[in-house]
Chains A and B, each alone.
Chain A
Amino acid sequence: GAGVSQSPRYKVAKRGQDVALRCDPISGHVSLFWYQQALGQGPEFLTYFQNEAQLDKSGLPSDRFFAERPEGSVSTLKIQRTQQEDSAVYLCASSLEGAYFAAFFGQGTRLTVV
């Protein structure tokens, strides 16, 4: 497809369960970003990749959050031992390179922890 693709679209997890969220960026886009968006808030930066290198992970809220992009294309955001406060929409975006080009978003994964 031409756009950023995320899966699953919806995920319900029991508290304590591990989850993995996938992002398939636009082909040829070097940069990939993950954001967390709570209801009524703007997207909050989590982490950023340039190709396979994770250049910034300062926004990850705890060591339960882990992201990877091993081949510089598809990325996975993993949350271990999910907590209720992890419930949010997780958005992935890609750009040609860095923050100087506009980023394009996937439809997001809505995570609900029960």
Chain B
Amino acid sequence: RKEVEQDPGPFNVPEGATVAFNCTYSNSASQSFFWYRQDCRKEPKLLMSVYSSGNEDGRFTAQLNRASQYISLLIRDSKLSDSATYLCVVNDEDKIIFGKGTRLHILP
């Protein structure tokens, strides 16, 4: 089983809609969780950390479910500029492990 699994998509979503995707992780001892965004041919950039209680940053909400070992990202009122690949990131001791990413296309 892969350490971090994501639905690769693509998710094709009309502008203004709400979209959510999940990521599952295999190591129950993981303590750090992040979402990164990666644009085509660019480096990954930190979108937000994911805290146990869930957290929100503008239109973005991240949640952690330790019992089921998944994290989620919700994007409200999606913009064309949200089109990107979203990478789920989990620590494995001192390593940072990435999922393969979920591609999101926001349609005008």
Q: Which residues of A contact B (CB under 8 A)?
A: 31, 33, 35, 41-45, 48, 50, 55-56, 91, 93, 95, 98-108
Contacts and interface: CB of A to CB of B under 8 A. Distances in A.
A-B residue pairs, 6 tightest by C-beta: A99-B91, A105-B43, A42-B100, A42-B98, A43-B98, A99-B96
Contacts of A43: 44, 87, 98
B89 to A, nearest CB: 8
B19 interface: no
Given A100-B32, A102-B34, A108 B43 contact: yes
Give the interface centre of A42, A50, A56, A101 by most chain B CB atoms within 10 Å.
A42
Interface string B88-104: 00011111111111000
A98 B32 CA distance: 10
Contacts of B99: 42
9 contacts: A35-B98, A42-B6, A55-B94, A56-B94, A95-B96, A100-B32, A102-B46, A102-B49, A108-B43
B42 interface: yes
A43 to B, nearest CB: 5
A42 B46 contact: no
Given A48-B95, A93-B96, A100-B31, 15 more contacts: A41-B101, A43-B87, A43-B98, A44-B98, A45-B98, A48-B94, A50-B94, A99-B94, A102-B49, A103-B96, A105-B43, A105-B44, A106-B43, A107-B42, A108-B43
Contacts of B97: 45
Contacts of B31: 100
Interface in B51-108: 87, 91-101
A105 B6 CA distance: 21
A22 to B, nearest CB: 15
Contacts of B93: 99
A56 B91 CA distance: 13
B98 A99 contact: no
